[in-house]
Amino acid sequence: MNYLNRKASKNVGAKVRRIIFNALLYIFLIVLVIFWVFPFFYLIIQSIRGDTVGLSTTMFPEGFNYTLQNYVKLFTDSNYNFFTWYLNTLFISVVVSIVQTIVVLMTAYTLSRLRFKGRKGLMKFMLIIGMFPGFLSMIAIYKILQTIGLSTSVFGLILVYISGSMMGYYISKGFFDTISKSLDEAAEIDGASKNVIFWKIILPLSKPIIIYTILVSFIGPWGDFMMANYLVGRAEKTSWTVAIGLQQWLTPTNSGLYFTRFCAGAVFVSVPIVILFFFLQRYYVEGITGGAVKG
Amino acid sequence: MADLEYLGMNKFKKFCYRTKNSFVEFPYKISNFFKTIPHKLKNSFKKVGSSLSEFADALIYGDWKTRLSFVFFGFGNIVHKQYLRGFLFLLYEIVFAFYMIGFGGQYISKFSTLGTVATVTLDNGFKKVGDNSFNILLYGVLTIFIIFCTIIVWISSVRQAYNSQRMTEINKKLSYGRDDLKNLGNKYYHTTLLSLPFVGLVIFTIVPLIFMIFVAFTNYNNLHLPPEKLFTWVGFSNFSTLISGNGLSGGDSEKFAYTFRIVLLWTIVWAVLATFSNYFIGMVVAIIINKKGIKFKKFWRTCLVTTIAVPQFVSLLLMSKMLATDGIYNVIITKLGGNAVRWLLDPSIAKCTVLLVNLWVGVPYTVLSCTGILMNIPDDLYEAARIDGANPYKMFTRITLPYMNFVMGPSLISAFVGNINNFNIIYLLTGGGPSYDVNMVATAGQTDLLITWLYKLTVNDQSYDMASVIGIFVFIIVALASLLTYSKIGSVKNEEDFQ
């Protein structure tokens, strides 16, 4: 009896300890989430506050003064036309993500499946090229774009984003490497050409990596600031992207006038990506771990 | 030392022994690396030689048709009725000739001096346009590239002509235009897929890059701006300016060297701290979320993932305002009774702030990727450990950590490289500031990384020469980091294992 009692109390002790430990973990997670989500909560509150347009020292507006005016102004202010920037960025991102996905998949397939002279050399070469900071070449690129007359337009920016896309083959190649080669061989015996194998056999099997590539190559130009600012930052406001525009609203001279509008614009920029992300999160995780897991 | 002896040592001794060994092996590794170079060189010369010998054969044994192909590209193909190839070769030659006469020739001829005639303003106010060093360098590089391609096309044209000649001599079937087109989808499919992307890569990445590497050896800066002024080759003086402080760049030389040392040190410290803090904290959070008994797993993860989904420039610009002196964080801190923190204005606090914000941005990525890997660790490993009486801490250090390190190794390197080039977080958050060190070059601040300094040097100061040198140093750091680690990763070497 005594023995049983002791065992029971020991169990209770372990249970209590586990509950306390778990409670601590929950507290930790809650604190963590507060820290992580707080900025976005702040962003949304600022985007709908009506008592000021500048950077304010209070969290909430005085006198429950909420408004949607900041969002309306995004589309109506002809001086700073957010809507044009938005369309520009959307156009750039869609075009880049389509072309880049095609290029990346083609390169990855070629390097994974076809054997030709200079394949290893090409891979090493691209590895080395990728080690140089990309911005280094911008001055020359700007000049080249000037020569062909695209230096200040959206199309020039598209060209710049697309041109290097071949070098992003790595993760897709890792994926193609894991598809069994016997599939290709079987198809080849049946008389299929490499072209047919690529389109009819490999691509249909690669849905996760295709979606991952589309997602990544869409987000890239959507959130790029450095290249965009260098190329079209000094051009007319109508060819800006959202990144440049929003950054301009936060310069020391402007942040007193445009901070709440910046917040509204930021919400507007983030929403499509957040939605995309929640639907395609699974593929994204597969992509970023896919290359690593096989290691 | 025998294996048994090694096994008998305690942990610390083993560690010392291994450390000692790695130092002992280091010179051998280096010398081995250099020993393989002549071998590799020999092989590559052999390859080049064999293709050249065929080229020479064409001259010696070729008939007049083949010999005429030395002058007219594709002539041999055309007379052997391989019209498609032949005319493409010929077209290339014509285009090349026009390019050289109309465009490339003038630049390549001035390449060695980068122009000698400066633009001068005449007395009557008109400008007499001289050489433009920038154009000469840029289009000179492009032309060199094109000439290089032409040599390859030339050789392959002659080889093909000779090949066709021999094939007809022994009555073998030649590959005509129709076969070639068919082969584009099969035997030459790599050409079909890669040629267009590769041309894009050459024009917009490789040529500009080579151009900028060349700029590192010139004095292209705000004192020598084309089109008004000329710049020219200066050899390695920019490198010596940056490293030792005595070069051509006038009174700023020593400042450059001083700034470079500080920025380089901070870049490396930053990259190491940012990578590892992200990795470990992300892993701990992932383990907590995935722990048995923790509920709402999806909720916790979703909250973190929001940070990834919001574009970086948005969250960083927002953070920069929230961390301002009268920003919301300081308001909260003062309301709670603390003193306002100079988040982005005090040099050492700013460095910590940047690291913290980097955690805020980066940990969700680590959590996402770690979650996938944690789920892949076989449960029976833990089961066995538990039966053997291991406590959670032991299980973490002996099972989870080694497994994670093994799988995440390659992505840690790319994270390290990414952090060295982490432009956004520094530029959008602190703008490189605060800067009140009088010994630094005016534009560089306390939190500037090499990459943001490079950006400022090009955009604000127009010191393109120094920017290029810095770019080359970034390349060297990245290349060293990758070299040291890539060779140890099996997945890079044995790519065919998985097919």
Same domain, B156 and B199: yes
- The closest alpha carbon to B479, from A154, A132, A65, A118, belongs to A132
Same domain, B43 and B56: no
Please, which pLDDT band fits residue A293 given cuts at 50, 70 and 90?
very low
B426-481 pLDDT per residue, tens:
988 888 778 766 667 767 888 889 999 888 888 888 888 888 999 999 998 888 88
Q: In this model, does residue B160 exceed pLDDT 80?
A: yes
Q: What is the mean pLDDT of residues A229-257?
A: 85
Q: In this model, does residue A61 exceed pLDDT 60?
A: yes
Q: In this model, does residue B35 exceed pLDDT 50?
A: yes
- In angstroms, the separation between the Cα of residue A47 and the nearest Cα of chain B is 12
Domain that holds residue B179: 50-237
Determine, yes or no, domain membership for B244. Answer: no
Q: How far apart are CA A75 and CA A266, in angstroms?
A: 14
Q: Which of A39, A222, A262 sits opposite B315 (nearest CB)?
A: A39
B/e letters for B358-380, b = 16+ CB within 10 Å, e = fewer, are bbbbbbbbbbbbbbbbbeeeeee
To the nearest whole percent, how much of chain A has pLDDT over 70?
94
User: Are the Cβ atoms of A139 and B201 closer than 8 angstroms?
Assistant: no
**Among residues B237, B261, B278, which one ends one of the domains?**
B237
Q: Which residues of B touch A129 (CB under 8 A)?
A: 201, 205-206, 209
Determine, yes or no, domain membership for B68. Answer: yes
> Higher-confidence residue: B147 or B51?
B147
Residues 132-161 of A with CB under 8 A from B: 132-141, 143-144, 159-160
Determine, yes or no, domain membership for B247. Answer: no
Determine, yes or no, domain membership for B499. Answer: no
- For residue B166, which amino acid is it? R
Q: What is the mean pLDDT of residues B183-187?
A: 81
Determine, yes or no, domain membership for B243. Answer: no
- For residue A89, which amino acid is it? T
Contact A116, B194 (CB under 8 A): no
Same domain, B193 and B85: yes
Residue whose structure tokens are 């048994």: B4
User: Are the Cβ atoms of A276 and B307 closer than 8 angstroms?
Assistant: no
Q: In this model, does residue A22 exceed pLDDT 80?
A: yes
Q: Which two tokens stand for residue B153?
A: 């096309």
Query: Could you report the predicted ipTM of this complex, rounded to two decimals?
Result: 0.86
**Among residues B237, B271, B298, which one ends one of the domains?**
B237
CA A153, A159, A164, A165 dihedral sign is positive
Q: In this model, does residue B31 exceed pLDDT 80?
A: no
Q: What is the mean pLDDT of residues A93-116?
A: 92
pLDDT computed for residue B491 by the predictor: 45
Same domain, B197 and B279: no
Q: What is the mean pLDDT of residues B472-499?
A: 66
Same domain, B270 and B316: yes
B273-289 pLDDT per residue, tens:
999 999 989 988 988 88
A161-178 pLDDT per residue, tens:
998 888 888 888 888 888
User: Are the Cβ atoms of A293 and B307 closer than 8 angstroms?
Assistant: no
Please, which pLDDT band fits residue A19 given cuts at 50, 70 and 90?
confident
Stretch among A58-67, A74-83, B15-24 having the lowest mean pLDDT: B15-24
Please, which pLDDT band fits residue B97 given cuts at 50, 70 and 90?
very high
A294 touches chain B (CB under 8 A): yes
> Higher-confidence residue: A49 or B122?
A49
> Higher-confidence residue: A35 or B15?
A35
Number of domains in chain B: 3
Q: In this model, does residue B492 exceed pLDDT 60?
A: no
Q: In this model, does residue B272 exceed pLDDT 50?
A: yes
Q: In this model, does residue B253 exceed pLDDT 90?
A: no
Residue B18 CB coordination number (10 Å): 11
**Among residues B207, B237, B267, which one ends one of the domains?**
B237
Same domain, B108 and B168: yes
> Higher-confidence residue: A6 or B400?
B400
pLDDT computed for residue A5 by the predictor: 61
Determine, yes or no, domain membership for B246. Answer: no
Q: Which residues of A touch B294 (CB under 8 A)?
A: 22, 25-26, 29
Residue A121 CB coordination number (10 Å): 10
A72 touches chain B (CB under 8 A): no
> Higher-confidence residue: A178 or B15?
A178
Same domain, B424 and B313: yes
- In angstroms, the separation between the Cα of residue B194 and the nearest Cα of chain A is 6
A178-233 pLDDT per residue, tens:
888 888 889 989 988 888 899 998 999 888 889 989 988 998 898 888 888 888 88
- Rounded alpha-carbon distances, angstroms, from residue A210 to A97, A161, B369: 11, 18, 19
Q: Which residues of B touch A18 (CB under 8 A)?
A: 293
Q: Which two tokens stand for residue B57?
A: 């054969």
Q: Which residues of B touch A35 (CB under 8 A)?
A: 360
Q: What is the mean pLDDT of residues B81-104?
A: 90
**Which chain A residue has the Cα nearest residue B451?**
A133
β-pair type (B120-121, B127-128): antiparallel
Same domain, B257 and B154: no
Same domain, B331 and B456: yes
To the nearest whole percent, how much of chain A has pLDDT over 90?
15
Q: Which of A39, A195, A276 sits opposite B319 (nearest CB)?
A: A39
User: Are the Cβ atoms of B193 and A162 closer than 8 angstroms?
Assistant: no
**A106 three-state secondary structure:** helix
- Rounded alpha-carbon distances, angstroms, from residue B32 to A128, B38, B333, B394: 22, 11, 59, 39
Same domain, B269 and B143: no
pLDDT computed for residue B95 by the predictor: 94
CA B97 from centroid of its chain's CA atoms: 34
Same domain, B324 and B347: yes
Q: In this model, does residue B248 exceed pLDDT 60?
A: no
Residue whose structure tokens are 């044209």: B157
Q: How far apart are CA A107 and CA A105, in angstroms?
A: 5
Determine, yes or no, domain membership for B96. Answer: yes
pLDDT computed for residue B170 by the predictor: 86
Same domain, B135 and B32: no
Q: What is the mean pLDDT of residues B357-370?
A: 88
> Higher-confidence residue: B23 or B431?
B431
To the nearest whole percent, how much of chain B has pLDDT over 90?
13
Contact B58, B159 (CB under 8 A): yes
Q: How far apart are CA A264 and CA A72, in angstroms?
A: 9
CATH number at residue B290: 1.10.3720.10
